[in-house]
Amino acid sequence: MRGVAYAPMSTPTVAVGAICIHEDRMLLIRRGREPSIGRWSLPGGRVETRELLADALVREVKEETGLDIEVGDLAGILEVPGEVHYVILDHFATVIGPSEPVAGDDAIEARWVPLDEVVGLDLTPRFLETLRGWGVLPEA
């Protein structure tokens, strides 16, 4: 379009997140790095070059929580434009084997949070609205 200046945008970065719910508790991590350092979110992260989405999710959850998962269906896609433009594909996942998380990689903390307590945490932007919109968490 003539006469309109557009700010350069970064190439979108593809990321994945795991929605693990067991016995009315959700697996969450508290972020140890930007973006949103110190806030609670789903375990997950960037997809590496030539890595399949499911493989990236298994790797990221293992790195951040020490847990093994089986990847299920896609729950939804969240786009987060900004200095880094993220396209996040969140999947349902099931923890297999021992299920006590231990924070690792870029997570300060990892734990199972009762679903009714998730709303009271300092969550990453749009976390609550997104998971409510997908029917994962109940409306207020």
Q: Is 139 a catalytic residue?
A: no
Catalytic residue selected from 51, 109, 129, 139: 109
Does residue 129 sit in helix, strand or coil? Answer: helix
pTM of the model: 0.90
Contacts of 105 (CB under 8 A, 6+ apart): 32, 63, 64
Asked if residue 7 is part of any domain, the answer here is no
Residue 77: domain span = 18-133
Indicate the average pLDDT of the chain.
92
Q: What is the pLDDT of residue 97?
A: 86
CATH number for the domain spanning 92: value is: 3.90.79.10
Asked if residue 104 is part of any domain, the answer here is yes
Asked if residue 32 is part of any domain, the answer here is yes
Q: What is the pLDDT of residue 140?
A: 74
Asked if residue 90 is part of any domain, the answer here is yes
Structural domain count, the chain: 1
Asked if residue 122 is part of any domain, the answer here is yes
∠ CA(55), CA(109), CA(62), 5° rounding?
Answer: 20
Asked if residue 120 is part of any domain, the answer here is yes
Asked if residue 139 is part of any domain, the answer here is no
